[in-house]
Amino acid sequence: AQSVTQLGSHVSVSEGALVLLRCNYSSSVPPYLFWYVQYPNQGLQLLLKYTSAATLVKGINGFEAEFKKSETSFHLTKPSAHMSDAAEYFCALYNFNKFYFGSGTKLNVKP
């Protein structure tokens, strides 16, 4: 079965601090993995994707994620949070022509 689990529905960090959003997956075949960001009342915007090439994936706005097969994880990080990073983040898995989304993590950035 395919599934995505995001640990922590809410994460709060100070501006300038490290951002770490956790994502674990379950997949019966090698997965394609994605991180999307959603601002209020908007659709989803792709941050980055893993498609079986390099395990460390760099995305837009300074975000990156590392695919760890042994841990079935694809955590999202950013070295220094900006106020503009406050949004909801979704981890997603793509297999068999379908997307499976995690429940989302709302990131709050404190000044």
Residues found near other proteins in the complex (CB under 8 A):
32, 34, 36, 41-46, 49, 51, 90, 92, 94, 97-99, 101-104
Strands 105-110 and 87-95: antiparallel
Least Cβ distance, residue 93 to other proteins (angstroms): 10
For other proteins, give the closer residue by CB, 49 or 77. Answer: 49
Torsion of CA 24, 25, 31, 33, to 10 degrees: -50
Least Cβ distance, residue 46 to other proteins (angstroms): 6
Amino acid letter for position 95: N
